[in-house]
Homo-oligomer: A and B are copies of this chain.
Amino acid sequence: MFQGLELAAVIASAVYGVLLAHRHQMDLVGAYSLALVVSFGGGTIRDLCLDRTPLFWIHHYNYPIVVFAIAVAGSMFPRITHKTEPWLRIPDALGLGLFTIAGVESALAAETSYFIAALFGVITGTFGGVIGDIICNRVPSLFRPAPMFATCAFSGAWLYLLLQAMPGLQRYAVVIATAFIVVFRIAALRYDWRLPHREFQE
């Protein structure tokens, strides 16, 4: 079941990458590269920083092929691909939840501190999109005022760490924390929840 959800998250990220590439007039090479970066970028930074070997997408060697199929299909049928966008919110939020909790678990397995484990959760869940934005020559939208995204991941990561410390709830920690992130993210989008922010005037 986790495998199935993870695959859904990879697919949602890949479609997002293809859409981003099309918006910037890229061809198939760009669509595939962006789809790879958005899907695997966060997890790759995590694996490199924690010295985990082999990288998760080298281990799950079918993931890059799935992403390739999405990039090819998305480039052949761009209009259909763009029509899927409104349907991506739920798999996208699911991807945020799953990747974040997987990132926290990897960091704990490498015996980092709790704070750093929460950071790796956020990096795994969100930095694929950040690198995608940098490649497209945009200031990363994650860093600009917008409905909460990193905040959902960060608080969900702490919830997971808290549940892990409670003997009775430990076994439900993954499910509860992932569900918390998904619901939090969808609510943040729906009700436009943002971090407080003062515009800076020099």
Question: Is residue A115 within 8 Å, beta carbon to beta carbon, of the partner chain?
Answer: yes
Q: Are B61 and A55 in contact, with the CB atoms below 8 A?
A: no
Task: Beyond the given A29-B142, A58-B116, please list 16 additional residue pairs across the A-B interface where CB-CB is below 8 A.
Answer: A25-B145, A27-B144, A27-B194, A27-B197, A28-B197, A29-B195, A30-B142, A30-B143, A48-B49, A49-B58, A51-B51, A51-B54, A68-B115, A82-B200, A134-B134, A137-B137
Q: Which residues of A contact B (CB under 8 A)?
A: 21-30, 33-34, 44, 48-51, 53-55, 58, 61, 64-65, 68, 75, 78, 82, 110, 112-113, 115-116, 119, 130, 134-140, 142-146, 149-151, 194-195, 197-200, 202
Kindly list chain B residues whose C-beta atoms are within 8 Å of the C-beta of A50.
54, 58
- For the complex, give the distance between the alpha carbons of A193 and B44 in Å: 33
Residue with the highest number of chain B CB atoms closer than 10 Å, among A58, A143, A146: A143
